[in-house]
């Protein structure tokens, strides 16, 4: 810290030979980087920058107002590669720091801790430049209203921009104030949603034509969209899988399976250690952006588990098992909480941070590790021109199925499986001697809830008891650490501290996770907790005028605007998840209020779906629940749990599962218990067919 201070003072002397001794002493006195007091791994990465960083809080905002200084708000996350690049080039530079410290209040924000702040400024930069991403860098008035912004900047461009904006602020501040006012109106309009006053009739919604139009942007060779970079977008694929099954669309199903195959074959999947990187930089899913995010892996476990229920493809099972081994090994703490991410960058032998350094291999390393198996390995994972990346390094990628490989090399599938296991063990042991990527060890309620759901879907499909155990352990962790007695949630947990008032995403994803736990355990406590969370959400997030839910609680501090998150992205929108929850809970609890809210929410977004279906896939999935028959499968009797287990191995996108091994007064279970019998009721809106005793008979009723 002392060395940085000396460098800063010297650089300021060079910058301004006319600076007085008093100016330099003032700068010395003002030098304080407050991030060392934070718990966010991302903020702590910047805690020793010469920039006077402060965290986003009321004290920081008040400081800007009192000193009448512009704010620089820089937003990123710990696994962000280009955030690290800009830090090294600019925020670790004393000249940059001198400019920022003299004229601005500098604020660092972890977008994962503060998605509400991030969304405001993402929208602002989107309006100003037409695109946005991370690092996100914005200059605002002292009141937080943005006047300029962008993403990654090189050092000279960054300094030049800072100086130009500061000059305008000194000479013509009204110009910035007027612009901020106009931009504020634009930001407020971006996430507004109008009440749909048209006739509510979901049965006529043109799902087929929407999917047909959407399919024009599909890459039928490699899967995913016909452009790069390629994100996996699990909620898109989940809906397309359902649509293909429900409407018997073979072309669509083939596209989904090709996509899942290619992702699993690609370098975006970690063939050595399991788990998925965030996205692919190319069309083939070959070279990933190497960061590993909990939310991607959670959703992809769910997706591949469901795809296996339909196809029974060994590849999908392998992916799920290996990914959950990775989650258990590297992303789970002793309390049962899940960490947030692993960095894209790690240290090379030379001590330099480099993207992908931990994950890639050169040919000499592979020959040394694999010895006589190198030839087979190199064919399996393309240690050739197809798999080569850069600097003589290879990112493992497959092109051939196991069947083709066994035929080509005249070995059995059992032999190949054993070889693959040996390869992965050897390479992981070798790789673990390298510097590991930095871990973001904070726990986010919403992402943990997605992982609970992933474990539950894997348990349903593969009946591995350990998966349910992990899901229940995490759910209990959240109950004990993040859930308050009044039904309120906290968003963040780190080093024994639970913090930040929960967002809609925390409530929506956790309610969904708790509903899924009920469907595999039949424990009524999960439905009770779901209702408690739902009622708290109504009280603190609900907007009576449009029947949607704000992203932030009414108890949170006021930002530039209070937005509605309703467009699906890499994670489904919190409003779309909430609308689905209300639909399902309305059946469990016979609650008309929940059902009416859900239908109004869906009706409101329908006008936008046709123009951009990939941004509304979870809403499309909910539409199918209204458009077609939605089944209540109710199992009651002494063997209810075993029947439920058998049921849950089937793909049932248009049904909820409920049950009890004893008499119950719950709406779906009332008057259905008979001593010494276990009966399965298949119902639609509480209208049931005659009960059956075998799961196979119940599935026939569903198929019919």
The set of residues, in sequence order, having a beta carbon less than 8 Å from that of 73 and lying 6+ positions away, is 56, 107, 109, 117, 121, 137, 138, 139, 140
pLDDT band at 131, cuts 50/70/90? Answer: confident
Q: What is the pTM of this model?
A: 0.92
Record the tokens describing residue 236, joined without a space: 């898109």
Q: Does the pLDDT of residue 652 top 60, yes or no?
A: yes
Q: Which residue has the tokens 């780190």?
A: 494
| Largest Cα span, the chain | 94
Rg (CA), the chain: 27
pLDDT at position 23: 42
pLDDT at site 560: 87
For residue 294, how many other CB atoms are within 10 A of its CB? 26
pLDDT tens-digit profile of 336-363?
999 999 999 999 988 888 999 999 999 9
Would you place residue 672 in the very low, low, confident or very high pLDDT band (cuts 50, 70, 90)? confident
- What are the phi and psi torsion angles at 499 (to 5°)? -150, 170
Q: What's the whole-number mean pLDDT along residues 564-590?
A: 96
Give the Cα separation of 370 and 375 in Å (integer).
9
Q: Which residues pair with 444 in a beta bridge?
A: 492
Round to whole Å and give the CA distance between 549 and 687: 31
Confidence of residue 484 (pLDDT cuts 50, 70, 90): very high
* 525 compared with 669, residue with greater pLDDT: 525
Distance between CA atoms of residues 704 and 701, nearest Å: 5
Whether residue 136 contacts residue 75, with contact meaning beta carbons closer than 8 Å, is answered with yes
Decide: residue 112, CB within 10 A, 0-12 exposed, 13-18 middle, 19+ buried. Answer: buried
d(CA 485, CA 183): 40
What is 557-581 written as a DSSP string? PP-S------S--SS--HHHHHHHH
| pLDDT score, position 10 | 30
The DSSP symbol for 56 reads S
pLDDT single digits (tens) 505-525: 999 999 999 999 999 999 999
The predicted structure's pLDDT at residue 16: 38
User: What's the confidence (pLDDT) of residue 646?
Assistant: 95
Give tens-digit pLDDT for 88-115.
999 999 999 999 999 999 999 999 999 9
Closest CA to 530 of 568, 605, 473, 478: 478
CA distance 559 to 571: 23
Q: Count the helix, strand and coil residues of the chain and give each as a percent rounded to the nearest 5.
A: 55, 15, 35
> Considering only CA atoms, which of 329, 391, 384 is closest in space to residue 360?
391
Q: Is the pLDDT of residue 17 over 50?
A: no
Distances (CA, A) of 679 to 552, 641, 653, 684, 694: 44, 12, 22, 16, 8
CA distances from 439 to 322, 330, 454 (A): 19, 9, 21
Q: What percent of the chain has pLDDT over 70?
A: 95
pLDDT, tens only, 62-72: 999 999 999 99
Q: What integer best gives the mean pLDDT of the chain? A: 92
Buried/exposed 236-257: b ≥16 CB within 10 Å, e otherwise: bbbbbbbbbbeeebeebbebbb
CB 261 within 8 Å of CB 269: no
What is the reported pLDDT for 704?
Answer: 66
pLDDT at 190 over 90: no
DSSP state of 695: H
Write down the pLDDT at residue 638. 92
Structure tokens at 393: 């390094």
Which residues in 319-390 belong to E strands, given as ranges?
A: 341-342, 345-347, 353-355, 361-362
* Mean pLDDT confidence for 620-633: 96
Residue 526: HSE in the Cβ half-sphere, 13 Å Cα cutoff: 23
Rounded CA-CA distance 156/163 in Å is 11
**Contact in structure between 623 and 239 (CB atoms under 8 Å):** no
| pLDDT recorded at residue 49 | 96
Is 80 exceeded by the pLDDT of residue 7? no
CA distance 462 to 645: 10
Q: Which of 286, 355, 319 is nearest to 457 (CA)?
A: 319
> 206-261, pLDDT tens digit by residue?
999 999 999 999 999 999 999 999 999 999 999 999 999 999 999 999 999 999 99
The length of the chain, given as a count of residues: 704
φ, ψ for residue 109, nearest 5 deg: -130, 130
Half-sphere exposure of 695 (CA within 13 A, CB side): 14
Beta pairing class for 439-440 and 393-394: unpaired
**What count of other Cβ atoms lies within 10 Å of the Cβ of residue 372?**
8
Distance (Å, whole) CA 589 – CA 670 = 11
> So what's the pLDDT on residue 668?
87
């Amino acid at each position: 810290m002392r060395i940085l201070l000396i460098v800063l003072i010297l650089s300021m002397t060079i910058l301004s030979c006319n600076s007085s001794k008093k100016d330099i002493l003032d700068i010395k006195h003002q030098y304080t980087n407050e991030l060392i007091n934070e718990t966010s791994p991302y903020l702590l990465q910047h805690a020793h920058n010469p920039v006077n960083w402060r965290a986003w809080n009321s004290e920081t905002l008040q400081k800007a107002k009192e000193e009448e200084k512009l704010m620089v708000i820089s937003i990123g996350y710990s696994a962000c590669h280009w955030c690290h690049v800009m830090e090294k080039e600019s925020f670790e530079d004393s000249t940059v720091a001198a400019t920022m410290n003299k004229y601005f209040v500098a604020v660092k924000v972890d977008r994962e801790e503060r998605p509400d702040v991030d969304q405001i400024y993402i929208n602002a930069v989107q309006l100003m430049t037409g695109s946005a991403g991370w690092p996100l860098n914005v200059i605002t008035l002292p009141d937080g209203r943005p006047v300029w912004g962008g993403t990654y900047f090189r050092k000279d461009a960054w300094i030049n921009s800072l100086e130009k904006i500061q000059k305008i602020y000194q000479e013509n501040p009204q110009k910035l104030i007027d612009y901020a006012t106009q931009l504020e109106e634009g930001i407020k309009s971006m996430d507004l949603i109008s009440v749909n006053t048209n006739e509510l009739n979901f049965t006529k919604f043109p799902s087929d034509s929407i999917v047909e139009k959407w399919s024009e942007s599909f890459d039928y060779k490699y899967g995913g969209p016909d452009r790069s970079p390629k994100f996996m977008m699990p909620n898109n694929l989940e809906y397309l899988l359902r649509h293909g099954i429900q409407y018997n669309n073979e072309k669509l199903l083939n596209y989904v399976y090709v996509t899942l195959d290619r992702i699993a074959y690609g370098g975006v999947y970690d063939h050595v250690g399991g788990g998925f990187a965030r996205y692919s930089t190319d069309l083939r899913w070959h070279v990933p952006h190497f960061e590993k995010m909990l939310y991607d892996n959670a959703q992809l476990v769910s997706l591949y588990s469901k795809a296996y229920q339909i196809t029974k493809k060994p590849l999908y099972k392998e992916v799920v098992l290996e990914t959950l081994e990775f989650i258990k090994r590297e992303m789970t703490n002793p309390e049962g909480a899940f960490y947030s991410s692993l960095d894209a960058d790690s240290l090379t032998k030379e001590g330099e941070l480099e993207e992908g350094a931990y994950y890639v291999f050169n040919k000499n390393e592979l020959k040394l590790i694999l010895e006589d198996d190198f030839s087979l390995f190199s064919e399996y994972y393309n240690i050739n021109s197809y798999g080569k990346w850069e600097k003589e390094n290879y990112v493992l990628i497959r092109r051939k199925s196991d069947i083709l490989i066994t035929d080509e090399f005249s070995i059995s599938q059992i032999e190949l499986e054993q070889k693959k296991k040996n390869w992965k063990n050897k390479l992981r042991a070798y790789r673990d001697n390298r510097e590991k990527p930095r871990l973001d060890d904070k726990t986010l309620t919403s992402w943990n809830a997605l992982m609970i759901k992933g474990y539950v879907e894997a348990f349903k499909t593969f009946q591995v008891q350990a998966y349910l155990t992990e899901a229940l352990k995490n759910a209990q962790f959240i109950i004990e650490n993040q859930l308050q007695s009044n039904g309120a949630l906290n968003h963040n947990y780190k080093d024994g501290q639970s913090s930040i008032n929960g967002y809609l995403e925390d409530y929506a994803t956790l309610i969904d996770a708790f509903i899924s736990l009920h469907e595999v355990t039949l424990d009524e406590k999960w439905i009770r907790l779901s209702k408690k969370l739902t009622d708290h959400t109504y009280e603190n997030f609900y907007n009576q005028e449009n029947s949607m839910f704000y992203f932030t609680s009414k108890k949170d501090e006021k930002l530039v605007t209070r937005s509605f998150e309703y467009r699906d992205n890499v994670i489904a929108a919190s409003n779309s998840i909430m609308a689905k929850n209300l639909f399902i809970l309305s059946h469990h609890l016979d609650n008309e209020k929940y059902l009416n809210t859900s239908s109004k929410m869906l009706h409101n977004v329908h006008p936008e779906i046709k123009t951009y279906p990939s941004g509304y896939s979870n809403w499309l999935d909910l539409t199918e629940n209204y458009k077609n028959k939605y089944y209540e499968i109710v199992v009651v009797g002494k063997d209810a749990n075993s029947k439920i287990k058998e049921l849950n191995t089937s793909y049932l996108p248009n049904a909820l599962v409920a049950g009890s091994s004893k008499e119950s007064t719950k709406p779906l279970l009332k008057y259905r218990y008979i001593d010494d019998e276990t009966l399965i009721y298949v119902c639609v809106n509480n209208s049931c067919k005659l009960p059956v005793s075998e799961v196979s008979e119940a599935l026939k009723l569903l198929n019919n």
